[in-house]
Amino acid sequence: MALGKIEHLGIAVADLEASEILFQKLLGTAPYKRERVDSEGVETSFFLAGPNKIELLAATHPNSPIQHFLEKNGEGIHHVAFQVDNLQEEIQRLKNEGFIVLNDPPKPGADGKLIAFLHPKTSGRVLVELCQDLSQP
Ligand code: ZN
């Protein structure tokens, strides 16, 4: 078992409209979808740059984890998401390796994914998201 490719980079933003304009200029392409994830308190906007996916994340309420992140760190890279084939098996493998898994069982995320986060204090201060594509068998 191992992690797969980087599925996307998550970027925390204060103002989704303003950041969509900025990233549209930067990447030369418009966002392909917006999705609100109420369980996470976020509104997301997705871009494709070549094979790479960028997820902008804005808080939808003051207690959103994204709002806490913005207050502490300001805007910028929030998490790195890796694709996995079998999320439950990866969660078990990483727990056995001493990582703290924040979502076990995993939960539904944006863009048709089943997701789990690792606590950054056990992963080199990088918030790591694992995601399994639910549209794949
Ligand atoms: Zn993500």
The pair of structure tokens assigned to 3 is: 């992690």
Residue 79's pLDDT band (cuts 50, 70, 90): very high
The Å distance, Cα 8 to ligand 1 centre, comes to 6
**Distance between the two ends of the chain, CA-based, in angstroms?**
17
pLDDT, residue 40, reads: 86
CA of 129 to the centre of ligand 1 (A): 6
Could you tell me which residues come within 8 angstroms of residue 52 by beta carbon, excluding any fewer than 6 positions away? 6, 8, 9
Predicted confidence at residue 137, as pLDDT, reads 55
| Cα of 132 from ligand 1 centre, angstroms | 11
Q: What is the mean pLDDT of residues 72-81?
A: 97
Q: What is the DSSP letter of 93?
A: H
- Read off the pLDDT of residues 43-66 as tens digits, 9 standing for 90 and up: 999 999 999 999 999 999 999 999
Please name the amino acid found at residue 112: G
Residue 78 CA to ligand 1 center (angstroms) comes to: 9
Confidence of residue 12 (pLDDT cuts 50, 70, 90): very high
Question: Ligand 1 mean position to 40 CA, how many Å?
Answer: 11
CA of 97 to the centre of ligand 1 (A): 23
**What are 7's two structure tokens?**
């599925």
Q: How much distance in Å is there from the Cα of 52 to the middle of ligand 1?
A: 13
Nearest to 113 by CA among 11, 64, 44: 44
| Average pLDDT of the chain, as a whole number | 95
The SS3 assignment for 49 reads strand
Task: Please state which of the ranges 46-55, 79-88, 104-113 shows the lowest mean pLDDT.
Answer: 104-113
Q: What is the structure's pLDDT at 35? A: 95
